[in-house]
Amino acid sequence: MTPGNPSPSGPGDAVVLLEIRQVAKRFGVVEVLKGVSLQIAAGEFLTLLGESGSGKTTLLRLIAGFEQPTSGEIWMDGERLDTLPPYKRRVNTVFQSYALFPHLSVRDNVSYGLEVSGTPKAEIPGRLADALRMVKMEQFAAQRPPKLSGGQQQRVALARALVNRPKLLLLDEPLSALDANLRKQMQGELKSLQRELGITFLFVTHDQDEAMALSDRIALLKSGALEQVASPREIYAHPATSYTAQFIGQTNLLRTEVKNGTARWGSLQWSASRTDGAAIFSLRPEAIQWSAGDAIPAGAVRFRAAIRQQIFSGDSEQLELAFEGHLLRVRLHTPGLLSGEQEFWFSPLNAVAVRE
């Protein structure tokens, strides 16, 4: 999984826990998933990222067993999963709205799974206590969920799922109901919990920052199909498609013509080892530099552009440049107000060719 060795949808050498084979799901005439194949390694933190309607929650519900795939198979640990009812799968879910049982105390919510699955009576109190301690909710054991705050309910939902020691934990946008600060804190706790327990996490979110912060790998879904599966660094540095480049972080898409190993974009040109024809390059805002009278490396692409707008955001300056009728986004880490026309440059190495 090093950046130089991109793995399209497999986890590399690690042991495969979950395998999704050509899974499609259709609701009436709407095709929500279009033959998705994906492998998840044991102990991995994989995020399904996508806009609403991209099919990420449907894929999660297929794995949990709340929906049946129209075609395709899901395997876990050498066992066919998609033919089992949800209560026979060693998979547990943290629901988006937590779905805690309002008539049961925190204690009874957490021990629910142990009791219905016939765990030996003597074993329950110990595991219950461990689970509550793990999420720091021991002192709330007797409370009913409606009396708890969002963050506390979140912890109970996590404990209720993890107490069953699932092989795979599914998390359906579990942090989306929390406010920004609590969200950051819970992200950290989730990540360290996952490392400690070594349980495989399949996390669904539409928030790319969250996906970047938490995941070992990100699987980006676009209208029911996988767009790219890669580590956060890989997917950011080498987006495969223009959609990925735009969805993960900000970017400038340069629609060029390549001829004889040279890409032309307006009056700019740089060497590109591609076959002749149209090519799209993704150029991250931070890849564009302001000359500032410094020496510009040889081979850099230089241009002059007018500054249309400048937004100060603490650690950086966000610029919008007007260049030959195009808009270019630039992020500079040298503070200071710029105006008028300035000289900028970028290295052709940072212009990444992407598919449409």
Nearer to another protein, 160 or 206 (CB): 160
Q: How far is the CB of 288 from another protein (least distance, A)?
A: 46
Nearer to another protein, 144 or 184 (CB): 144
> Is 345 an interacting residue with respect to another protein (CB under 8 A)?
no
For another protein, the binding residue among 113, 224, 232, 249 (CB under 8 A) is: 113
- The Cα 219–Cα 204 span in angstroms is 10
For another protein, the binding residue among 27, 68, 83, 103 (CB under 8 A) is: 103
Q: How far is the CB of 67 from another protein (least distance, A)?
A: 10
> Is 27 an interacting residue with respect to another protein (CB under 8 A)?
no
Convert the chain into a string of H (helix), E (strand) and C (coil).
CCCCCCCCCCCCCCCEEEEEEEEEEEECCEEEEEEEEEEEECCCEEEEECCCCCCHHHHHHHHHCCCCCCEEEEEECCEECCCCCHHHCCEEEEECCECCCCCCCHHHHHHHHHHHCCCCHHHHHHHHHHHHHHCCCHHHCCCCHHHCCHHHHHHHHHHHHHCCCCCEEEEECCCCCCCHHHHHHHHHHHHHHHHHHCCEEEEEECCHHHHHHHCCEEEEEECCEEEEEECHHHHHHCCCEHHHHHHCCCCEEEEEEEECCEEEECCEEEECCCCCEEEEEEECHHHCEECCCCCCCCCCEEEEEEEEEEEECCCCEEEEEEECCEEEEEEECCCCCCCCEEEEEECHHHCEEEEC
Which region, judged by CB under 8 A, interacts with another protein, from 60-68, 208-216, 290-298, 308-316?
Answer: 60-68
Q: How far is the CB of 183 from another protein (least distance, A)?
A: 21
For another protein, the binding residue among 14, 16, 42, 99 (CB under 8 A) is: 99
For another protein, the binding residue among 65, 174, 232, 239 (CB under 8 A) is: 65
> Is 206 an interacting residue with respect to another protein (CB under 8 A)?
no
> Is 331 an interacting residue with respect to another protein (CB under 8 A)?
no
For another protein, the binding residue among 3, 68, 71, 102 (CB under 8 A) is: 102
Phi, psi for 307 (deg, rounded to 5): -85, 115
User: Is residue 309 a contact partner of residue 328, using CB atoms and an 8 Å limit?
Assistant: no
> Is 66 an interacting residue with respect to another protein (CB under 8 A)?
yes
Pattern 124-163, binding to another protein, x per CB under 8 A? --------------------x-x-------------xx--
For another protein, the binding residue among 12, 95, 286, 342 (CB under 8 A) is: 95
How many residues touch another protein under the rule CB under 8 A: the total is 26
For another protein, the binding residue among 43, 112, 182, 191 (CB under 8 A) is: 112
> Is 29 an interacting residue with respect to another protein (CB under 8 A)?
no
**Binding region for another protein (CB under 8 A):** 64-66, 85-88, 91-93, 95, 97, 99-103, 112-113, 116-117, 144, 146, 160-161, 164
